[in-house]
Amino acid sequence: MDLERLPSGKFAVNSLFFQLVVLAYNMLRVMGGELVSDRRLGLRKATRRRIRTVIQDVMYRCARVVRHARRLLLRIRGPRAWVDAFERIQMRLA
């Protein structure tokens, strides 16, 4: 996740930074685990799909946070199967 350099010289700031990175990484692992088994995404057939590859696919998806009608929405660009997969994950976590 490109953590070669710490953002600050203060221990408290770096500690908070690492806590946020751990949270983001764990969220990506959960999403990646769900998406590995999803056959509707149109991923190339592979005998073994690595979680790292799926996490990279998730991170490279184009998305935009939109504020509309006092709500925050995440608009995901790409094939409809990816959007449906993200919606299923969100409904499962809600």
pLDDT tens readout for residues 26-40: 888 887 777 777 777
Dihedral (CA of 19, 20, 25, 28) sign: positive
Could you tell me if 77 and 62 are in contact, meaning their C-beta atoms sit under 8 angstroms apart? yes
Write down the pLDDT at residue 31.
79
Q: Name the least confident of 16-25, 49-58, 71-80.
A: 49-58
- Does 5 have pLDDT greater than 80? yes
Which residues, including other chains, have CB under 8 Å from residue 86's CB and lie 6 or more apart?
Answer: 31, 74, 76
pTM of the model: 0.62
